[in-house]
Each structure stands twice: as structure tokens, then as C-alpha cells.
Structure 1
Amino acid sequence: MLRALICAGALAVPLTAAAFTGGDLNKLCTRTDVASRSACAAYIEGAADGVYNTIDAIGGTTGPRVGQYFCLPPDTRTQQMTDAVRKYVAENPNSVNYNASTVIALGLGKAFPCKPNE
């Protein structure tokens, strides 16, 4: 019986999973309740860490490299990152259809570009 439940659950997950888009992220980030604001900030920070760590794994983040989207100053605050991503979505309406992590990387890249000596 347990085996049947596990199999049924495994089959149901792919059918219900959907990509979290830039539009979904923007909707989350425009909400004013504490839980939504915290979820927005956590998602953006997590995606930024993920992109950074991926670039580090394929060649380092000690300077602009192929695929490095952004260079965050050490004192960057979460709200600055959120504002940068929301501004990017506002200025690029088609980005609502992109994957949310792509929108985050592009938004942070626009606001926090890497300088040649970084």
C-alpha cells in the first residue's frame, strides 16, 4: 500500500509542477503582507546565490566571466535587490514570461553590472 502511495505521489508531482515566472515573482513582490514580502526577498536572495554559485563552479566569480550576470557590492541590501528586479520587470514587460531566476539575474545585472576590474 505504501509503495502504491509513493508511486501515485511521484506521478502527480510532475503534472502539478509549473515554472515560477517573472510575472509570478512580481505579483508576490507587490503584495504588502509580511509573509509575501519575506518570501519575495528570500526567493531573490536564493536565486542570486544560486546564479553566483553556478558561475563560481564553472570558472569563478573573481571577475567578469562569460555568463557572470552581476557583481553585488558587499553592502548590498535585500531591498535594493528586490527594487532592482521589480524595476527590470517594469521596464521589460516581456520578462513576465521568463523564468523568475532569469529575471532576477537580468535585473541584478542591469542594476549591479560587473566592472572590468572586478
Structure 2
Amino acid sequence: MLRALLCTCALGLPLTAAAFTGTDLVKLCNRSDVPSKSACQAYIEGAADGAYNTIEAIGGTTGPLVGQYFCLPAGTTPDEMTNAVRHWANHNGDKLEYNASTVVALGLGATYACRASN
């Protein structure tokens, strides 16, 4: 009986899982406890790293490329990245239904836009 219950739960879980949205990220980042703040920063760093690696896989990150939303300067800290995303989210509440990783890319792009090389 326990095995049947576990199988039912395991099979039902993917059907009820929802995407992590910008609204979810903002709620996480607005919490004041240390684990939530750490999770917020870790998500933003991971999403930024994932975007960087995707761009690298399709041709490099040495300048403004099609699809490259942001260019982080060397030495950008996790706190600076988090503040950039939070600032963008506070001014773009109508876009928080987007996937959280999209919100990260748009938020970082608003602060760390790529500059054309001369």
C-alpha cells in the first residue's frame, strides 16, 4: 500500500509542478532570512551563468550579440546582480509572470547592457 502511494505521488508531481516565475523570485528575494537571501542570489547567479553559457555555445560572449541580454563587467558581485534584478522587477511588475530566468536576464540587461565595440 505504501509503495502504491509513493508511486502515485511520484507520478502526480510532474503534473502539478509549475514554472518558477518572476513573481516567485521577487517573493523569495524580498524575504529577510539568510537562507532566502542566499537562495535568491544563487538563483540569479545560476540564471546569469546559464545565459552566459548558452551565448557561449552559440558563438561567444565578446560583445553585443543577437540574443545577448547583458554583459557583466569583471568584478560584478552577487549583491550588485541581485540589486539590479530587484530594481528592474520593482519597475516592471507587469512582466513578472515571465519565467524567473527571463526576469533575471531582463533585469541584468537593464543595468548591464552590452556596449558595441569600436
CA RMSD of aligned residues (A): 1.9
Deviation of the 1:10 alpha carbon: 4.9
Deviation of the 1:93 alpha carbon: 1.1
* Equivalence for 1:21: 21
* Percent sequence identity over aligned pairs: 65
**In 2, Cα distance between the equivalents of 1:89 and 1:116?**
26
Deviation of the 1:9 alpha carbon: 5.2
* Equivalence for 1:66: 66
**What TM-score do you get using the length of structure 2 for normalisation?**
0.90
* Equivalence for 1:37: 37
* Equivalence for 2:11: 11
* 5+ residue gaps, structure 1: none
**What TM-score do you get using the length of structure 1 for normalisation?**
0.90
**In 2, Cα distance between the equivalents of 1:57 and 1:10?**
34
* 5+ residue gaps, structure 2: none
Deviation of the 1:6 alpha carbon: 8.0
**Secondary structure at 1:87's aligned position in 2?**
helix
1:54-99 CA distances to partner (integer Å, 9 max, x unpaired)?
A: 1111111111110001000111010110111011111111121111
Deviation of the 1:11 alpha carbon: 2.2
Instruction: Provide the aligned length of Structure 1 versus Structure 2.
Output: 117
Inter-CA distance 57–9: structure 2 relative to 1 (3 Å threshold) = farther
**In 1, Cα distance between the equivalents of 2:49 and 2:100?**
14
**Secondary structure at 2:115's aligned position in 1?**
coil
* Equivalence for 1:76: 76
**In 2, Cα distance between the equivalents of 1:22 and 1:67?**
19
* Equivalence for 2:102: 102
Instruction: Give the AA of the match of 2:24.
Output: D
Q: Which runs of 4+ in 1 moved over 4 A?
A: 3-7
**In 2, Cα distance between the equivalents of 1:23 and 1:96?**
5
Instruction: Give the AA of the match of 1:24.
Output: D
